[in-house]
């Protein structure tokens, strides 16, 4: 069985557009300049790459999901998008900046990814990124584990798809690769999901790896049990609000 994430680009755009909307402030932090060459790592369906391009920069968006890249190409045909895993990038000093929003926590070989990003940057180039950090979605992870335990479905650690580091851990990795970390912070960002079925849609979209060994009806049982477990704490004023913790940083290639 594969551990590679399968992405539903339509569901992502329709029910999870908060991912790119909440990334707008990160684009502002990037502050793209006209004619800069910028690499968007884990670009998804391309919304933020388009925002960066609209400010005059030349953008290459890469994502491991061919489905996501196809959607990005259809939405923004003037931008260059390529299906590529960050662990397989071999750019050499081609970019003024590397940008990444809500993607690095899906990449479980962080040292390789950071090394490849460092290699892609020109000297003095900057990395501006945000990812899930320590404590991210702890309630959902607890509910998934608890649900599978109560339903007597096997929980397989190998299928856990995320990497949520602490400030100290990730700063150390960046510095070991040669980056100078200018700013790094972990902050809590309670995130509302769309509609009364928001949690279920989230689980369908993002827990596929963890539940890949279950049958369709078994997954439905897990979704329902998670809703039951989390409703008392996470369902507020007729919507689901999830405990997101984000790690945001700016690092520069010396």
Condensed to tens digits (0 to 9), the pLDDT of residues 164-213 reads: 999 999 999 999 999 999 999 999 999 999 889 999 999 999 999 999 99
Percent of the chain with pLDDT over 90: 88
- Mean pLDDT throughout 118-132? 98
The answer to whether residues 25 and 48 touch, using CB atoms and an 8 Å cutoff, is no
Q: What is the DSSP code (8-state) at residue 24?
A: H
Pairing of strands 95-101, 37-41: parallel
Query: In Å, what is the CA distance from 17 to each residue of 9, 39, 75, 124, 193?
Result: 11, 21, 14, 32, 10
Q: Pick 9-136+162-193+244-253's CATH classification: 3.50.50.60, 3.90.1150.10, 3.40.50.150, 3.30.70.980.
A: 3.40.50.150
- Mean pLDDT throughout 14-33? 75
Condensed to tens digits (0 to 9), the pLDDT of residues 31-71 reads: 999 999 999 999 999 999 999 999 999 999 999 999 999 99
Mean pLDDT of the chain: 92
pLDDT at residue 84, as a whole number:
98
Beta bridge partners of 187: 246
Residue with tokens 């040669």: 178
- Predicted structure pTM score: 0.90
Task: List Cβ neighbours of 46 (8 Å cut-off, separation of 6 or more).
Answer: 61, 71, 72, 73, 75, 76, 79, 81
Query: In Å, what is the CA distance from 231 to each residue of 22, 181, 203, 214, 241?
Result: 24, 39, 14, 23, 10
Domain boundaries, the chain: 9-136+162-193+244-253
pLDDT at residue 137, as a whole number:
98
H-state helical runs in 55-209? 66-75, 110-120, 138-150, 167-176, 198-206
pLDDT at residue 24, as a whole number:
84
Between 227 and 8, whose confidence is greater?
A: 227
Phi, psi at 240, each rounded to 5°: -85, 135
Residue with tokens 């299928």: 159
- Mean pLDDT throughout 151-155? 95
């Amino acid at each position: 069985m594969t551990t590679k994430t399968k992405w539903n680009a339509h569901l992502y755009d329709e029910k999870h557009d908060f991912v790119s909307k909440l990334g707008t402030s990160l684009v502002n932090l990037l502050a793209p300049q006209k004619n800069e060459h910028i690499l968007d790592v884990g670009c998804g369906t391309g919304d933020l790459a388009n925002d960066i391009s609209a400010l005059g920069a030349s953008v290459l968006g890469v994502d491991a999901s061919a489905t996501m890249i196809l959607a990005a190409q259809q939405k923004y045909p003037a931008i260059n998008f390529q299906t590529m895993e960050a662990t397989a990038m071999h750019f050499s000093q081609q970019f003024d900046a590397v940008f990444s929003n809500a993607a690095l926590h899906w990449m479980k070989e962080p040292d390789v990814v950071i090394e490849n990003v460092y290699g892609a940057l020109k000297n003095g180039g900057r990395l501006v990124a945000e990812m899930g950090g320590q404590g991210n979605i702890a309630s959902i992870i607890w509910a998934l584990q608890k649900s599978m335990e109560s339903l007597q479905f096997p929980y397989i650690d190998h299928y856990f798809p995320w990497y949520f580091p602490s400030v100290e851990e990730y700063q150390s990795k960046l510095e070991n690769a040669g980056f100078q970390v200018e700013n790094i912070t972990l902050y809590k960002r309670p995130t509302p999901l769309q509609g009364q079925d928001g949690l279920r849609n989230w689980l369908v979209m993002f827990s596929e790896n963890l539940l890949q060994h279950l049958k369709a009806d078994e997954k439905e049982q897990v979704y329902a049990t998670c809703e039951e477990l989390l409703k008392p704490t996470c369902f507020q004023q007729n919507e689901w609000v999830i405990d997101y913790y984000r790690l945001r940083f700016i690092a520069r290639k010396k």
